[in-house]
Amino acid sequence: MMERLSRWWADWEAFWDEREHPLPVALVRIFLGLCFVYDFAHIWQLGLIEPLFVMAEAGGLSDGFMREDPVWLYRILPPTAWAGHLHHGILLLSAVTFTLGLFTRTSAVTLIAASATFSAIMPYSDRGIDSLARSALCILVFSPAGKTLSLDALIRTGSVFGDGRPEPMWARRLLIGQLVLMYFDAGISKTGITWWPMGHFSALYFALQDPAVAAYDYSSFIRKPFSFFMTQLGAAGTMVYQYTYPLVLLLLWWRRHPERAGRFGRLLVAWRVEYLWIGVGFLFHIILGFSMNLGIFPWAMMSLYPVWLTAGEWERILSFRRWSVAESGT
């Protein structure tokens, strides 16, 4: 028993110590960073810095200063308009430097702290995607995401591509785990009856009529039988998709250990069936991005998708350059 446990632990240590070129996590850093930059620049462009960042005492919406336990930032700063502008400025600046890979870890820590503070100041304006982005940042802050395609790499090695040395790949694996957990949990959390046959799979039909989240007014055709059927298909498909998402981990495990897969499993691995979930997810987010009013949600979700490919696979896609990437595990 002890021998088996210690062998298992040794495998665990070895698994998390495997290395690859940091290209996939660097791509996540850039795409996620761009979502942050867009979101905070968009607040500025819409003229919403004052309502969202400034305390009620200075004309904003937040009660962060008047609470019994004020938000930490306003124990240091006075609740003035410039403090709100400073907070927004720090968020935007750290998002820019994070995207560029300049002082990557410091930028990531600043971004987490400033974003978490914003969440404390305006909890109603903090959505699920902001929480997911902070979770991803908590992983990226310790990862080698700034070791390539970054100004840090340029400063350190003289090339924005870095020195091409393999780095620990645990961050990419944890981000895969985060995606699987998010999709699966989103499925099992769907307790509303409208997601189930008893509710006629009508969740999407109703959601698309909700002015808060619909991008357009679909009332002219959504009650037609074909439209309703398509929304039912979408709702049922979403449930099947999210409930079965953990199978992706099994498929990746079988890819690593084909000897444990059995004939059917090896067939699924050979056909790369995991791309079904990844491709459907990609399509799902694109459709959501245009049909619903969800802000950066679909785009920030897709910004994590680079982790589905290994550094070697990315090298083949980005073949304009020789990346000196050794083939890595899943």
Partner 1 sequence: MRRFRAIVIAIAIFANLVVAIPTAKIDDDELADPEYRQSDVRNWYRWTGGLGMDEERFRELALGIMTGWRDAVRLVRAPFQPFFSLVHTNQQWGLFAVVGERKETVVIEVRRNGQWETLYRRLDPEHTWHDDQLKYRRIRGVWDGVKEEPKGTYKRLTVWLAKEIFTEQPDVDRVRVVLERSAMSLPWETVDPTVERRAERYHRRNEVMDDPEQEAR
324 binds partner 1 (CB under 8 A): no
96 binds partner 1 (CB under 8 A): no
- Residues 71, 120: contact at Cβ < 8 Å? yes
Question: Which member of 22, 24, 60, 146 binds partner 1 (CB under 8 A)?
Answer: 60
Question: Which member of 31, 38, 206, 253 binds partner 1 (CB under 8 A)?
Answer: 206
78 binds partner 1 (CB under 8 A): no
Residues 140-199 that bind partner 1 (CB under 8 A): 168, 170, 174, 177-178, 181-183, 185-186, 188-195, 198-199
106 binds partner 1 (CB under 8 A): no
126 binds partner 1 (CB under 8 A): yes
Distance set, CA 164 to CA 22, 143, 225 (Å): 8, 15, 56
Residues 6+ apart with CB under 8 A from 199: 192, 193
Spatial distance between the Cα atoms of 73 and 123, rounded to a whole number of angstroms = 15
- H-helix segments, 141-189: 151-157, 170-188
Interacting span for partner 1 (CB under 8 A) from 26-34, 41-49, 147-155, 254-262:
41-49
Task: Name the minimum Å distance from CB 42 to partner 1.
Answer: 7
Given the complex with partner 1, which of 221 and 264 has the nearer CB atom?
221
Q: What is the DSSP string of 256-309?
A: H-GGGTHHHHHHHHHTTTHHHHHHHHHHHHHHHHHHB--TTHHHHHHTTGGGGS
271 binds partner 1 (CB under 8 A): no
Task: Name the minimum Å distance from CB 203 to partner 1.
Answer: 4
16 binds partner 1 (CB under 8 A): yes
Given the complex with partner 1, which of 194 and 244 has the nearer CB atom?
194
302 binds partner 1 (CB under 8 A): no
Amino acid identity at 158: G
Interacting span for partner 1 (CB under 8 A) from 200-208, 257-265, 278-286, 311-319:
200-208
Burial 54-66 (b: 16+ CB within 10 A, else e): bbebbebbbebbe
Count H helices and E strands in the chain, helices first: 16, 2
278 binds partner 1 (CB under 8 A): no
Task: Name the minimum Å distance from CB 161 to partner 1.
Answer: 26
Task: Name the minimum Å distance from CB 196 to partner 1.
Answer: 8
Nearest CA among 80, 109, 99 for reference residue 40: 99
Amino acid identity at 328: S
Given the complex with partner 1, which of 268 and 296 has the nearer CB atom?
296
